[in-house]
Amino acid sequence: MPYGEKSKEQLINFSDNIFRFLEKQGVKAVVMACNTTSATTYDTLKNNYNFKIYPIIQSVTEILANLPIQRIAVLATNATINSHAYKNGISKINPNMEVIEHACPEWVKIVEGKLEAKKESIEIIKADLQAVLKFNPEKIVLGCTHYPYLLEQLKAFAPEDMFINPAEAFAKYIKSDLEKSGLINKNGSGKEKFYVSGSPENFKSAASIFYNVKDLPQKVILIPDTTHSLQLQ
């Protein structure tokens, strides 16, 4: 962490290791919820496995390109912005839409550290937002899974309805596509497992931002490739 500061080669290696591990688990599909890896590794790795991969950026750019607006801004990590994945994806479908890109390298650290209420953090958030507001965008894409957790701070400087969380459209797209492919599970008997490549304790703390993890067991199972596993019963 954070992925946004890693090289493309590092990200491809990380993603391939994760996909190989998941392939051994017999998964039917993998969701690339991370904008950074979606931007930098999907095209390289997409045909290497026996399951379907859903990359967030490539899945939602068509939706964004068809919005009835002329100017859109994207806030994301350095790696995502440097890849121009959002801009290129939108431009292929709607070359008339202007796409403003801006990297916010400190935002992931702010969210992970739960520092969003700190004065210094608010100043960083404000400065990054003002850097794109000067171009008068009609909508702003929060192009990192962490960024929607800063909406409370962001809406102090711009209207809340200006911000787009692409994960919402992404989830609907995945559900619809699984239904069309006959892969959706409707029996309600699923289980949740969390595999983490770093510290399980750090995961429990960071994940509490968006998920109730208080019932996760204290026992940690070490599995191959130095990946740690936590299972929520």
Q: Specify if 116 maps to a domain.
A: yes
Q: What percent of the chain has pLDDT over 70?
A: 90
Q: Is residue 79 part of a domain?
A: yes
pLDDT band (50, 70, 90) for residue 8: confident
Q: Is residue 126 part of a domain?
A: yes
Asked if residue 12 belongs to a domain, the reply is no
Where residue 97 sits, what CATH number does that domain have?
A: 3.40.50.1860
If you average pLDDT over residues 135-152, what whole number do you get? Answer: 95
Structural domain boundaries, residue 138: 58-170
Q: Which two tokens stand for residue 171?
A: 């989830």
Do 225 and 155 share a domain, yes or no? no
Q: How many Å apart are CA 69 and CA 72, to the nearest integer? A: 7
Residue 211 has pLDDT above 70, yes or no: yes
Q: How many domains does the chain have?
A: 2
Shared-domain flag, residues 76 and 164? yes
pLDDT for residue 231:
47
Q: Is residue 132 part of a domain?
A: yes
Q: In the prediction, which pLDDT does 216 show?
A: 55
Active-site residues, by number, are: 34, 144
The pLDDT score that the predictor gives to residue 223 is 45
pLDDT, greater one: 209 or 46:
46
Among 3-7, 51-55, 77-81, 90-94, name the one with the lowest average pLDDT: 3-7
72 and 156 part of one domain: yes
The pairs formed by 38-41 with CB atoms below 8 angstroms and a separation of 24 or more are: 38/85, 39/76, 39/79, 39/80, 39/83, 39/85, 39/86, 40/8, 40/11, 40/12, 40/79, 40/80, 40/83, 40/85, 41/8, 41/11, 41/12, 41/15, 41/16
Confidence of residue 233 (pLDDT cuts 50, 70, 90): very low
Average of per-residue pLDDT values in the chain: 87
What residue spans of 34-76 are helical by DSSP H?
35-40, 42-45, 56-65
Q: What is the mean pLDDT of residues 150-170?
A: 96
Rounded to two decimals, the pTM is 0.82
Mean pLDDT computed over 15-28: 92
Query: Average pLDDT of 214-225?
Result: 49
